[in-house]
Amino acid sequence: MTVSRFTLVLFACGMVLSRASGQTTVRVGSKAFTEQYILAEIVSQLIERNTDLQVQRRFGLGGTDLCHAGLTSGELDIYIEYTGTAIASVLHEAPGADRRASFRRVAGEFRRRFGIEWLPPIGFNNTYSIAVRGDDADAQGLSTISDLARAEGNRKAGFTSEFIERPDGYPGLRDRYGLRFVPIVDLDPGLMYDALAGDQVDVICAFATDARIDALGLRVLADDLRYFPPYDAAILVRADLLRDHPELRDVLAALAGTIDDADMRRLNGLVDIHRREVAEVAIAWIESGLDQYDTWGAAVPREAPMSFWELAVRRRAELARKAVRHLGLTAAGVLVATAIGLPLGVLVHRVAATRAPVLALCEIVQTIPSLAMLAFLFAIYGLLGVLPASTALVLYALLPVTLNTLTGLRQIPRDIRDAATGMGMTPRQSLWLVELPLAAPVIVAGVRAATVLTVGIATLSTYIGAGGLGDFIARGLSRNDTRLTLLGALPAALMAVALSLLIRFVERTLIRS
Amino acid sequence: MITITDVSKSFDRGRTHALRSVSIHAHAGEVLVLLGSSGCGKTTLLRMINRLDSPDSGEVRLRDRDVCGMDPVALRRSIGYVIQEGGLFPHMTVERNVEIVPRLLGWNRDTRRARTHEILSLVGLSPDEFLPRRPAELSGGQRQRVGIARALAANPMTLLMDEPFGALDAITRDRLQDEILSIQRSEPRTIVFVTHDLFEAVRLADRIVVLHAGSVEQVGTAEQLLNHPATPYVSSLFERATQQATGLLEHAP
C-alpha cells in the first residue's frame, strides 16, 4: 500500500514537471564517458544557440540499454551512439566491416523499428585498435597491424578482459593477422595506456579516440585487413521530434563529418588531460573549432591545475545541490524500505510458512547487479530519474531491515512472549507493547546498516539520470580525474558516517526515554 | 473451582503423549500443587487453564464454564500468571510491569497507582524505592516478588504459578513461600502451583497432584501421599526424599 502510494506521488510529480516543460524542451542524454559528455554538450549548446528549444541535460547514463530504452520510451530525445554498438547491443547482429553498409543498416532498422533517426555520422570512428609505443613503432617500422605480425621479437600484450573474450576481439584478430603475444595480461581499460607507456606491456587494445594515445606518445596501427568493425558516431534523434521541429535537423546536421579521430582525441584530451570543463571545451569548439586548439588549449599551460580543495570550494553550490539530492534519495529509499521491511519482518516472524520464500526473494534481489537493476526498473517504469533510482534503493535496503526485524523478534525469550500472552495481551498489544520495543535495538541496527548501504548504492543513481553525488564520481572515473571522484566519494562517505551516528543517537535517546 | 476432565495432549500427532486422560479438580481458595519431574506434563496442564495450550480432547472448566468457549484474552486477564524469574518485561519499570493487567483492563490512573503501591507493599517491597526501577536492577528474589505482584495486581480469583521459585537460592525461596502462604491467609485464592520440589509441594499445598509421564499417579494431601501412597512411583518419591535427608544427616559433622 505504502509503496504504491509513494510511487503514485512521485509519478504525479514527474507528470506535472514534464507537462510544465511541455513541447519546448529537448532532453539530451549521454553515456558516462568523456567523449559522450563533450558531444552531448556540443549538441545541447547548438540547440540552445540556434533554436527556441530548451535543453534538459541527462548526461552520464549507465549504458547503451538505458540510452536506447530512453529514446524508445520518449524519456530522451537525443543522444550519440556508435554504429558497431547499435548493431551488436540493440539489433543483436554480427557487425560487418564496411562503414557505410553498417550505417545504412542501423539507420534503416532504427527508423523502421523504433522511430529513431540516425543523422549523418560525425566523422570519427571510435573502434578498438591496436596501439604500440611510438619509439617501438619507429624502430621497427610499424604502421599497420600486418607489420606487427611480421615484426621481430616477442611482445607482451595487455588487453581488457572483454577484448580477450569477445569473438570479435582478440580471438578473431589473432586468426585474421596470425598474431601471437606471450603473455597476454588482463588490464583495466583505464590502466592500459599507462601500462604501455611505462613498458609494462608492449601492445594494447586502445580505443581509437582516447586522448592518452597522443598524450603518452603511443601509436595506433592501421587495421589494414579491416578486421575491426566500424564504430562511427552519429546523433540519434526521435523521429517525432524531428517532425515537430524540422529546424533541428539542419542545426544538428552541421556536425556531420566535422570531427575526425584525431580531433576527437584532442577534444577528449582537453578534458581528460588538461582538465578543462566540458562546457568550456564545447563552447570553444563551437566558436572556433580546433583551429585555436594550440593557442587556447594544450600548448598554453594555464595556472597550475586546481587542488581538490580549490575545486570543492569553487563547485560548492553544485556540491551542495548534489549532496541534498543524494540525501533525499537515501532518505526515500531507507524510509520506504523500513515502511515495507518492518511489517514484512513481523509477518515472516508470525507466519513461519512465509519466512523461507520472503527471505529468499529479498536475498535474490540483493544479488542483482546494480546497473542491471536500474535497467530492469527503467524497463518497468519507462522513466529515467528519481523514481527508478529510489525504487532500486528500496529493494536493496529491504533485506537488512526485514532480516533484522525478524532477528530482533526471534531473540525475545519465549517466556517473555508467554508472559505477555498470559497477562491477557492481544497479539497486537504483545507486538506493540512488548515485542517491538524489545526488538527495537536490533531493528534500528538494521535500519542503520541499510542507511550506510544505501548512501553507497545511491552513488549509482547517476547512471539512470537521478543525480546525487554519483555524478561527480562517474565523471571523475570517466575522465581519470581523482579530484572529481573524491568530490563525490568523500562527501558520500561523510554522509554515511554522519547518518550512522545520527541514527545511533536517536536510538540512545529512544532507549533512555 | 477449576475442573479438568479427561484431558489428553500430544505434541507430535499422537506418537507420544504429554498428557493422557488427566482429570483433576481444584476447590475455590485451595492451593493445588502439580508435582512431578520435568517432562511429566505439569506445565502443559497448567497452561491449559489460561489457554496458552489447548487439549486435544477433554475439557477444562473454570468457575463452571468451559474455557474453550471463552474469549482467551478476557480469560487470561482474569487469571494471575507467574512464571520462573517472573517473566518481567525488561524494557518497563517495575511500576509499568505491575500495572500491565489493570492497564489492559482500562483502570484509570489513580486506581492503578493506588493498587500498584498496595500490591508492592503486600509482596514486601517498598513502593517508593522499587516502582521506578527496571528488572535488571533487581535481585532474583525481588524480581520474583514483582512477578507475583504483577499477577495479583488486578485481583484475580485464580493464580497460576509455574515453578516460580525454581531459580532462587534456598533462603530466598523459603521466604517467598512464607509470603505466598501469608497472602493466601489474608486473601484466599484458587492457586495452581507447579513444582518439581517435593518439599516446596508439602510446604505450600492443601492438596498435591503427583504427575508422572503424562498421567495422574495420585491426588491427596501430603499426609495421605506419605502414609498411603497409591502407586510405587509415589512411594519412591517420598523414600528418595527420606533417604536424601538421612544421608545428609549421616554425613553431617
A455's grid cell: 548512501
- Per-residue pLDDT at A189: 74
pLDDT cut 90: percent of chain A above it: 52
Contact A425 B104 (CB under 8 A): yes
- Per-residue pLDDT at A513: 62
Name the least confident of A362-366, B76-80, B245-249.
Answer: B245-249
Residue type, A93: E
Pick the CATH number of A21-125+231-305 from 3.30.565.10, 3.40.190.10, 3.40.640.10, 1.10.3720.10: 3.40.190.10
In whole numbers, what is the pLDDT of chain A averaged over residues?
Answer: 87
Residues B133-183: tens digit of each pLDDT: 999 999 988 999 999 999 999 999 999 999 998 888 888 889 889 989 998
Which candidate in A415, A421, A423 is best for mutational testing of the B interface (most B CBs within 10 A)?
A: A423
Alpha helices in B94-213 (DSSP H): 94-98, 100-104, 109-122, 127-130, 140-152, 170-186, 198-204
Pick from B76, B84, B88: CB nearest A424: B76
Residues β-bridged to residue A55: A26
A420's grid cell: 505477555
Does A122 score more than 70 pLDDT?
yes
Pick from A421, A425, A437: CB nearest B91: A437
Q: Which residue of A has its CA nearest to B92?
A: A434
- Per-residue pLDDT at A502: 94
Query: Among A214, A250, A206, which residue's Cα sits nearest to residue A231?
Result: A206
Residues B45-98: tens digit of each pLDDT: 999 999 999 999 999 999 989 998 999 999 999 999 999 877 899 999 999 999
* CB A130 within 8 Å of CB A145: yes
- Per-residue pLDDT at A295: 55
Query: Among B24, B23, B25, B21, which residue's Cα sits nearest to residue B9?
Result: B21
Residue type, A371: L
- Per-residue pLDDT at A9: 45
pLDDT cut 70: percent of chain B above it: 99
pLDDT cut 70: percent of chain A above it: 92
Beta-carbon pairs below 8 A across chains A and B: 53
Q: How would you classify residue B51: left for phi > 0, otherwise alpha for psi between -120 and 50, otherwise beta?
A: left
**What CA–CA distance (Å, rounded) separates A395 from A7?**
13
**CA dihedral over B188, B193, B198, B199, signed as positive or negative:** negative
Give the range with max mean pLDDT: A1-15, A93-107, A188-202: A93-107
Query: Among B49, B81, B46, B79, which residue's Cα sits nearest to residue B67?
Result: B49
Query: Among A37, A181, A13, A121, which residue's Cα sits nearest to residue A477?
Result: A37
- CA of B185 to nearest chain A CA: how many angstroms apart? 24
One-letter-per-residue 3-state SS of A423-489: HCCCHHHHHHHHHHHHHHHHHHHHHHHHHHHHHHHHHHHHHHCCCCCHHHHHHHHHHCCHHHHHHHH
Neighbours of A18 (CB within 10 A): 15
- Per-residue pLDDT at A17: 44
- CA of B7 to nearest chain A CA: how many angstroms apart? 20
SS3 for A69? helix
CATH code, A128-221: 3.40.190.120
SS3 for A200? coil
Return the CATH class of domain B2-251: alpha beta
Which candidate in B81, B98, B152 is best for mutational testing of the A interface (most A CBs within 10 A)?
A: B81
Contact A424 B75 (CB under 8 A): yes
For chain A, how many helices (H) and strands (E)? Answer: 26, 10
A chain contacts of residue B81, beta-carbon cutoff 8 Å: 419, 422-423
Q: Which CATH architecture has domain A316-512?
A: Orthogonal Bundle (1.10)
Domain regions of chain B by residue span = 2-251
* CB A248 within 8 Å of CB A53: yes
> Which helix (H) or strand (E) segment is B161 a member of?
strand B158-162
Contact A438 B90 (CB under 8 A): yes
C-alpha A218, offset from chain centre: 28
Residues A213-256: tens digit of each pLDDT: 888 999 999 999 988 889 999 999 999 999 999 999 999 988 99
Residues A46-103: tens digit of each pLDDT: 999 999 999 999 998 877 888 898 899 888 999 999 999 899 888 988 888 889 999 9
Contact A424 B88 (CB under 8 A): no
Distances (CA, A) of B206 to B24, B28, B191: 14, 11, 10
One-letter-per-residue 3-state SS of B214-244: CEEEEEECHHHHHHCCCCHHHHHHHHHHHHH
- CA of A279 to nearest chain B CA: how many angstroms apart? 59
Pick from A416, A423, A438: CB nearest B101: A423
Does B106 score more than 70 pLDDT?
yes
Burial B112-124 (b: 16+ CB within 10 A, else e): bbebbbebbebbb
Does A12 score more than 70 pLDDT?
no
Give the confidence band of A41 by pLDDT, cuts at 50, 70, 90: very high
Residues B203-214: tens digit of each pLDDT: 999 999 999 999
Residues A278-330: tens digit of each pLDDT: 888 898 888 877 766 655 555 444 545 678 888 888 889 889 999 999 999 99
Domain regions of chain A by residue span = 21-125+231-305, 128-221, 316-512
- CA of B122 to nearest chain A CA: how many angstroms apart? 20
